A and B are shown apart, each in its own frame.
Chain A
Amino acid sequence: MSDEELAKDLGLLSALAVGIGTMIGAGIFVLPGIATREAGPIVVLSFLIGGVIAMVNALTVSELGTAMPKAGGAYYYINRALGPLFGSISGMGDWMGLAFASAFYCIGFGGYLTTLLDGVVIPFPGTGGVELLPTIVLGPFVLSDIQIGALLAGVAFVTVNYIGAKETGGVQTVIVTVLLGILTVFAAVGFFSFDWGTVMVDGTIAPLGYTEILPGTALVFVSYLGYAKIATIGEELKDPGRNLPIAIIGSVAIVMVVYSILVGLMVGIIPYDQIDVDTPMSDVARVIFEGNIGVIGITSITLAALLATASSANASILASARINFAMGRDKIVTDWLNEIHPKFATPYRSIAVTGFMIVLFLVVLGGEVEVLAKAASVLHLVVYALINVALVVFREADVPEYDPDFTVPLYPITPILGFVLSLGLIGFMKAIEIALGLVFVAGAVAWYGLYARNKTDREGVLSRHILSRSDEMPDAAVSAANVARPSGGTQYKVMVPVSNPRTESDLLSLASIFAKANDGIVQAVHIVEVPDQTPLLEGSEHVQRINEESRTLMERVRESTETLDVPVEVKTVVSHRSFEEVFEVAERERPDKVVMGWGPDRPWSSGRAERPLEELTHDLPCDFLVLNDRGLETDRVLVPTAGGPDSDLSAEVAKYLREQLGSEITLLHVVDSEDDRETGEAFLTEWAEDHDLGDAAVRVDASGDIEGAIAEAARDHTLVVIGATERGLLSRLVRGSLAYDVVHDVECSVLLAERPTSRSLRERLFGTRSDER
């Protein structure tokens, strides 16, 4: 077996066990008492409707999960599709939702622990004894015995995950099998105690009214939160294309059936308003096992409840660490959180922080199981709503690497339905619970604005989609996309697309001069061209290998290159079409300048592009500097100029060279005849003053032959910097019809400079003239 296969060791059964194990602990063992008080016996329908909503979302999660089986699940998809603003909302929402859910599961555990230990008293000399789980009253704070039990459980679960006690696959599956076994016995025996008379109250199954069904669903929805955990561990799944959707959809279906049967039995055994609020299953077990297996039955159910709630809490804590990792990788939260413990090999900080939140929720809200449950649901529902949007965005934006094995049926109805149902269900929550959820969403938005926006550089498919079509899209969408776009790397950035790292150190050196002058960084992007038949999927083994090789190669280049102590960031892009990729990366990364090489050995010299060249090069996303490299020597630099915006850029470049390397600058201006020489000199001197190059040597050529004059002057210089006098220099360069044959005629290196024109994307987006900087 290859390591690749070994890394993925979760089979279908294990994945189902994770899903069922996470879900079954929540609803059935904790909520029925509260839920029936709210909705009456008809609460069975509430459970079913909750299951249907979960199922619609489960389809969406399945599609996204098979397209991107990556750590982080929902957060990852949303961040990818909708960008880091919504990524922050979903990451924080998912994370806090899990913390609320864990606290809720702990309360359930505490309840059953209390039942199990009821009356157990530790003998204590003098006072006679102390209850094992006492109720503590500290001024206005009251910690009930259930809360104490829950806190003990919470701390224990967090500790187990913190030190990473070894869990083997068998255990999870055994727990779930035992659970389902006990519940089956319970259901079978309970069937004989079922009485329609108990269900019907005053001749109706909805004594509290049918309008209570949906608020009931809002309450019990927490029972279905487990399936998404399967997505957060998607990377560990064998054959995720098949197993992920089966496990997700299957576990929702199984749990839905189990819930309906058990809750149906409960309301047929104990009148709906008498079902125990804290430990409903123990209560019902007492009735149905009376006269047959008795205490054994009751104890089994209590133990099952402990197992179930523990396994739910445990899975949630694990899943939250995955989300933290994914967020840390995108710099939405600090990577400090994701440090791995040197001895335990666990993400201990992330677990500790989540554990702290759980304990906090237990202490503050532990008395209000309903609030914990709904807070968890609201946050998850927000995330589910966003997941459905993410799916539509992926489909509509036609992202080439988006290739799910499972696709939702009836697209686009299913994701739209999922979105509407998820948000709709929130409407049936109480104001306070919605407010609690909104506080967290607002917190996440604030977090993004204050912290993450400046750190993350991950842009979503959506904003790229909108911004790349800013002509067709409504202005409001464009400006919204702009406001929300990450500004991580607002720092001055000089990008260097590199095709062959071995020969490109001149480009990096040149780029570092510009970066140094602006206190910026150099971003070296290694563009690896692969044949069309090679998939570009980020996770593919091939691409990972390329990434690794490229990284090592680039590190070496960086070390051997003179970079003036400028930070160099290395990045690999695997592409089918390297020329186009240069522009696409530039649009995505938003550098201030692109420095690229030109020559026969570069794949982009062949200009293989699918979009028309004009389109690519007419809307330059930033300044482009193209070096025809004949060895980078910068002591004597020639700058021919006729004025205009593009020679503004040559002047800027010359200035940087002089500042950083002490290059001697010569300015060249060509006039038609000797008569014009004086005007020419006057123009050039003024131009030099305007561009802060007053001390440069001035040379006026009266031959009227621009190319000849440049070629002539170039003989005593080591580098010629030419600004494109009109738009489209790059496209002409690509087509090989460059007006300046001089680029090929001279012996020294030539640097061509083209600045985005007034129609540039940058200007349309930011409303500033690019040469004002």
Chain B
Amino acid sequence: MTDQLLETVLLPVAGPEDAEATCAAAVDRIAAAGGRVVAVHVVEKAGGAPDKVSVEQREEYAEEAFEVVERRCADAGVPVETRIAYGTDVAETIFEVADDVDATAIAFTPRGGSRWVRLLTGDVALSLATETDRPVVVLPDPGDEETDEGDA
């Protein structure tokens, strides 16, 4: 039986490192299920104030992350599509893309970070898990030996 859950998996990647971790956790599983990957990088917009980083710089950064995903997927024989999305709310933007590509699931690897950091930078993982309208697969970070507080 084809695993319908992993048919079209949306992989949000925050950067090359995150892409590496996410792919390590996700791609083999998706390959086994015969699914495909849509990788998305969200450029967080301030919505009327200057952004934290220049948009062009973020787009270059996104390309770096996509290169990782494309390489990993090519190695595993998984079809892959990449998208850059822009939005003021990262989680919400991911949902919009998920709608757009008819994703059967959103899969991600939570990134560490203290409560402080998440408070200040917005906890995308939490919003992804709590506000979703479709299956969310939270994958363990294979490279992460020491678990940060509250990471699970």
Is A565 in contact with chain B by the CB < 8 A criterion? no
Q: Are B48 and A71 in touch, CB under 8 angstroms?
A: no
Is B14 in contact with chain A by the CB < 8 A criterion? yes
Tell me, in angstroms, the Cα distance from A343 to B47 when the chains sit together: 20
Tell me, in angstroms, the Cα distance from A342 to B109 when the chains sit together: 14
B152 / chain A contacts, CB cutoff of 8 Å = none
Query: Nearest chain-B residue to A233 (Cβ)?
Result: B50
Q: Are A163 and B86 in touch, CB under 8 angstroms?
A: no
Tell me, in angstroms, the Cα distance from A163 to B119 when the chains sit together: 11
Q: Are A322 and B86 in touch, CB under 8 angstroms?
A: no
Pick from B15, B50, B111: contact of A340, CB below 8 A.
Answer: B15
Q: Are B48 and A169 in touch, CB under 8 angstroms?
A: yes
Pick from B50, B53, B56, B86: contact of A10, CB below 8 A.
Answer: B50
Q: Provide the A147-188 mask, 1 if CB < 8 A to any CB of B, else 0.
A: 000000000000001011111111111000000000000000
Q: Are B121 and A347 in touch, CB under 8 angstroms?
A: no
B49 / chain A contacts, CB cutoff of 8 Å = 10, 14, 18, 167-169, 171-172
Q: Provide the A425-450 mask, 1 if CB < 8 A to any CB of B, else 0.
A: 00000000000000000000000000
Is A637 in contact with chain B by the CB < 8 A criterion? no
Q: Are B55 and A166 in touch, CB under 8 angstroms?
A: no
Q: Are A3 and B84 in touch, CB under 8 angstroms?
A: yes
A345 / chain B contacts, CB cutoff of 8 Å = 14-15, 44, 52-53, 58, 121
Pick from A6, A10, A344: contact of B48, CB below 8 A.
Answer: A10
Pick from B52, B58, B85, B121: contact of A3, CB below 8 A.
Answer: B85
Is B120 in contact with chain A by the CB < 8 A criterion? yes
Is A359 in contact with chain B by the CB < 8 A criterion? no
A10 / chain B contacts, CB cutoff of 8 Å = 48-50
Q: Are A347 and B57 in touch, CB under 8 angstroms?
A: yes
B112 / chain A contacts, CB cutoff of 8 Å = 343
A173 / chain B contacts, CB cutoff of 8 Å = 48
A319 / chain B contacts, CB cutoff of 8 Å = 50
Pick from A168, A321, A325, A340: contact of B88, CB below 8 A.
Answer: A168
Tell me, in angstroms, the Cα distance from A229 to B49 when the chains sit together: 12
Q: Are B48 and A321 in touch, CB under 8 angstroms?
A: no
Tell me, in angstroms, the Cα distance from A322 to B55 when the chains sit together: 10
Query: Nearest chain-A residue to B86 (Cβ)?
Result: A6
Pick from B15, B17, B55, B88: contact of A236, CB below 8 A.
Answer: B55
Given A235-B55, A340-B53, A342-B18: A169 touches B46 (CB 8 Å cut-off): yes
Q: Provide the A56-86 mask, 1 if CB < 8 A to any CB of B, else 0.
A: 0000000000000011000000000000000
Q: Are B50 and A9 in touch, CB under 8 angstroms?
A: no
Query: Nearest chain-A residue to B54 (Cβ)?
Result: A71
Query: Nearest chain-A residue to B84 (Cβ)?
Result: A3
Q: Are B54 and A165 in touch, CB under 8 angstroms?
A: no
Pick from B15, B50, B88: contact of A318, CB below 8 A.
Answer: B50
Q: Are B47 and A325 in touch, CB under 8 angstroms?
A: no
Q: Provide the A297-312 mask, 1 if CB < 8 A to any CB of B, else 0.
A: 0000000000000000
Tell me the residues in window 34-83 of chain B with beta carbons closer than 8 Å to chain A beta carbons.
43-58, 61
Query: Nearest chain-A residue to B97 (Cβ)?
Result: A3
A537 to nearest B CB, angstroms?
Answer: 15
Q: Are A346 and B17 in touch, CB under 8 angstroms?
A: no
Tell me, in angstroms, the Cα distance from A170 to B48 when the chains sit together: 7
Q: Provide the B80-111 mask, 1 if CB < 8 A to any CB of A, else 0.
A: 00001111100000000000000000000001
Q: Are A71 and B55 in touch, CB under 8 angstroms?
A: yes
Is A88 in contact with chain B by the CB < 8 A criterion? no
Pick from A3, A11, A18, A71: contact of B57, CB below 8 A.
Answer: A71
Q: Provide the A222-254 mask, 1 if CB < 8 A to any CB of B, else 0.
A: 000000010001011000000000000000000
B122 / chain A contacts, CB cutoff of 8 Å = 166
Tell me, in angstroms, the Cα distance from A236 to B120 when the chains sit together: 23
A318 / chain B contacts, CB cutoff of 8 Å = 50, 52
Pick from B17, B52, B54, B58: contact of A342, CB below 8 A.
Answer: B17
Is A257 in contact with chain B by the CB < 8 A criterion? no
Query: Nearest chain-B residue to A172 (Cβ)?
Result: B49
Tell me, in angstroms, the Cα distance from A236 to B43 when the chains sit together: 12
Is A761 in contact with chain B by the CB < 8 A criterion? no
Query: Nearest chain-A residue to B52 (Cβ)?
Result: A164
Given A163-B121, A325-B57, A346-B53: A9 touches B18 (CB 8 Å cut-off): no
Q: Are A342 and B14 in touch, CB under 8 angstroms?
A: yes
Tell me, in angstroms, the Cα distance from A611 to B111 when the chains sit together: 58
B18 / chain A contacts, CB cutoff of 8 Å = 342
Q: Are A343 and B44 in touch, CB under 8 angstroms?
A: no
Q: Are A347 and B53 in touch, CB under 8 angstroms?
A: yes
Q: Provide the B16-37 mask, 1 if CB < 8 A to any CB of A, else 0.
A: 1110000000000000000000
B44 / chain A contacts, CB cutoff of 8 Å = 345
Tell me, in angstroms, the Cα distance from A299 to B121 when the chains sit together: 31
Is A315 in contact with chain B by the CB < 8 A criterion? yes
Is B1 in contact with chain A by the CB < 8 A criterion? no
A325 / chain B contacts, CB cutoff of 8 Å = 53-54, 56-57
B17 / chain A contacts, CB cutoff of 8 Å = 342
B113 / chain A contacts, CB cutoff of 8 Å = 343
Q: Are A11 and B48 in touch, CB under 8 angstroms?
A: yes
Given A14-B48, A340-B61: A235 touches B43 (CB 8 Å cut-off): no
A23 to nearest B CB, angstroms?
Answer: 15
Tell me, in angstroms, the Cα distance from A431 to B84 when the chains sit together: 51
B17 to nearest A CB, angstroms?
Answer: 5
Is A7 in contact with chain B by the CB < 8 A criterion? yes
Q: Are B117 and A9 in touch, CB under 8 angstroms?
A: no
For the A-B complex with A166-B120, A235-B56, A321-B54 known, give 7 more contacts whose Cβ atoms are closer than 8 Å.
Answer: A9-B88, A70-B56, A163-B120, A170-B47, A318-B52, A325-B57, A347-B53
Q: Which 5 A-B pairs have the closest CB atoms?
A: A169-B48, A71-B54, A6-B86, A164-B52, A14-B48
Residues of A in contact with B (beta carbons under 8 Å apart): 3, 6-11, 13-14, 18, 70-71, 161, 163-173, 229, 233, 235-236, 315, 318-319, 321-322, 325, 338, 340, 342-347
**Could you list 13 examples of A-B contacts with CB < 8 Å?**
A3-B84, A7-B43, A7-B86, A9-B45, A13-B48, A14-B48, A14-B49, A71-B54, A172-B48, A236-B55, A343-B121, A345-B58, A346-B52
